[in-house]
Amino acid sequence: MMDVKIVRFSGEITDYEWCVWKDIILSNGYIDDETLYEIRSRLEQQLFNCISENQVLDILIRIIADTIDIDKPAMQYHASRLLLRIVMQEVHGGETPCTLKTLYSRNVSIGVYDNALMEMYDEASWEEINAYINHENNLSFTYAGLRQMVDKYLVQDRIHKTLYETPQEAFMLIGMFMFMKEKREIRKGLIFSFYDALSQFKVSLPTPIISGVRTPLRQFSSCCLIDVGDTTDSILASNSAVGYYTAQRAGIGLNFGRIRGKDAKIRDGSVVHTGLIPFMKIYESTTKSFTQNSIRGGGSTATVPFFHWEIEQFIRLKNNKGNEENRVRRMDFSIALHKVFRERVREDQMITLFSMEECAPLYQSMYGKDVDHFRDVYEAFEARLDIRKREVSARELYVAIIQERFETGRIYILNADHVNSHSSFSKPIYMSNLCQEITLPTSPIQSVDDTNGEIAMCILSNINLGKIDFIEELDDLTRLLVRFLDNLIDYQEYPLLSAARVTQKRRSLGIGISDLFHFLAKQGVEYDKKKARDLVHEYMERFQYGLIRSSMLLAKEKGMAEGFHETMYFSGVFPIDSYCRTVDQLHEEGLKCDWSKLREEVKRYGMRNTTLSAIPPAASSSIVSNSTAGVDPPRMHMTTKLSKHGPLVQLLPDIEKYYSSYSLAWGISNASYIKLIAVIQKFIDQSISTNMYYDLSLYENERVPIRELIEDELTAYKYGLKTLYYLNTHDGSGNEMEKVESSCSGGACEV
């Protein structure tokens, strides 16, 4: 801990005392005299008798953080470096760090670190690795970034406020754990390369990994997809699975599409089904009852198909109207749509709703690759007289979905036909995850020990495009991340056998890109121009090519995934073969990588992973790395985010260079933005957390015309987007105060 020597305060700071503190402040760089005078004046106002040096430093940090502004971007580094002094004092007792092995051994002895490294590295390796750590990299943190790193990611005792590590030690240890079983001749190079990429913010990791690897808790999958079956056993077992994985920091995706509708007959009719809502309330409570390592609360998204008996009630579950008995407001909701439904909407026809226990073949056919087959099966079920069914207007239901999406922002869209036609799997996909970027096969479990059901898990990471200087860097970064995450699959533990079996069989990864709008600003291109789409096309091709090739090379070295035969890759079909061809209208860039050679290599060696790419939200890690979040446009040049330490001011990266080059969310055209995302989706084998943005001040009575909302949603479908995530609105006031984790319900699956 810091020296807590008491400072006697007599009412004003003496010149000598101010010189001491000013020297500390200016050791971080130049500050003009006017700002220094303001800092001194505010410090005098907040000092009190018998204040400790720790408390003075905390006050100084808050004062300097308050001066951060677009015109004073350097102040975010002054505040960060003062906070870094506290961190170094708490962990090392001063500015000189102890050796990494000393820190590691100390933390193992008190039980906050996993002891797995003890037998894996000899003394010479520890010394070599310790010498490579560059603590100067800590100076690259902005104040918001370091504050986020300290509060959320570093290992600590959150009760007694005891910090056990600094960022650079955490970054190095993460690589040491994940590459510890690699061959000695390549291990050091992998560790150092990964450390460089992580500490220089070229890659970002999700919360379960960056806060968990090196601790005794070994569960690092960000996303958990649970398919709930239409039986009492499955409903209860699935709820238990929600509890286990929420407690271990995973975001939850739930599929309720198999559960029968309200008033359906159970057994001989002596029992009448209660419908979806009572069961969803159970899951809602379970999700919110478990905190995720005291870092955040749980979050879940539930999915049903458009023809479910209770679809009209389902889409209104987040609505503020109604009472607690008929609302489930602490979950989010996704509607699985299909081309057949859209045809009925366009032609202003009726659709038929069914209770799911009576139409299992219909449910299965919706999630196949043959659209015409589903149409035939759907029409056949509509003609049946022996089952319960009712008709509603397709157009009225669609408008209601769009309206609820606008009103709550949390009604998501899953385009079942695109999800399955542009999938890396030959098996059907019924659902997505909490944040709508993961699309993996699932099937219900009947007990917590069930090994036949399929709970799908996915492990995430991102490459920050704005932090790389050359497209060739993607080759090394994709190679590193594929190997790193693949090792993590074997290292982590699994609370449920079904999740263990499926994850180890499929080895699904979800590597994405982030910092997109920083990247575009650096390149001097506008998001809505064909030049931007061509540039993104080139980078995304290189990105996905690198992922596939890395997985192929890993299969050559370690063996292909057991479930590789379930994929379209096994059949020689890559994402560039199955994407929605309307995307070709949006760009002029052609394919540049040697796909023919790669196909032959995949055919010969297989792949280590059944999926490789997905683009999650990145609000949390973007604060740490001082980047723009995911593929989202930034909301403002300067955003104030709420944290437990008060407002955190975050400026856009390199704002002094690229202020005028940034496109902001509240000024974008959603249609143009969707076209940019569609080019990215062409190469992604899973999905993208795609948001929309509407500035209400631009519309009469602050209401976006329903026609515009519909046109934007249809544009997303036209160009092959698989899922739609949040619909964000803004009143145009210029006030932008966000919670740090606001971009992901619960934050669980964001990077």
Active site residues: 433, 435, 437
Of 577, 707, 548, 692, the closest CA to residue 631 belongs to 692
Collapsing DSSP to helix, strand or coil, 242 comes out as helix
Distance (Å, rounded) from C-alpha 334 to C-alpha 356? Answer: 17
Report whether 435 contacts 483 (CB < 8 A).
no
Report whether 222 contacts 458 (CB < 8 A).
yes
Distance (Å, rounded) from C-alpha 352 to C-alpha 251? Answer: 33
Distance (Å, rounded) from C-alpha 291 to C-alpha 729? Answer: 29
Of 657, 315, 303, the closest CA to residue 456 belongs to 303
Give Cβ neighbours of residue 280 (< 8 Å, ≥ 6 apart). 256, 302, 317, 328, 331
Strand bridging mode 456-464 / 509-514: parallel
| Residue 298 phi, psi (nearest 5) | -75, 165
For 194-200, the CB contacts below 8 A with 24+ separation are: 194/480, 194/484, 195/132, 195/133, 195/171, 197/477, 197/480, 198/171, 198/174, 199/134, 199/137, 199/167, 199/168, 199/171, 200/137, 200/140, 200/467
Place of tokens 């049903």: 304
Distance (Å, rounded) from C-alpha 690 to C-alpha 694? Answer: 14
Give the type of residue at 347: E
Q: 546: part of which helix (H) or strand (E)?
A: helix 530-558
- Calculate the alpha carbon distances from 206 to 198, 212, 220, 250, 620 in Å: 12, 10, 8, 10, 8
Q: Residue 343 carries which DSSP code?
A: H
Q: Residue 183 carries which DSSP code?
A: -
- H helices of 179-250, in order, are 184-199, 207-210, 232-247
Place of tokens 């600003």: 521
Report whether 303 contacts 315 (CB < 8 A).
no
Q: Is 701 left (phi over 0), alpha (psi -120 to 50) or beta?
A: left
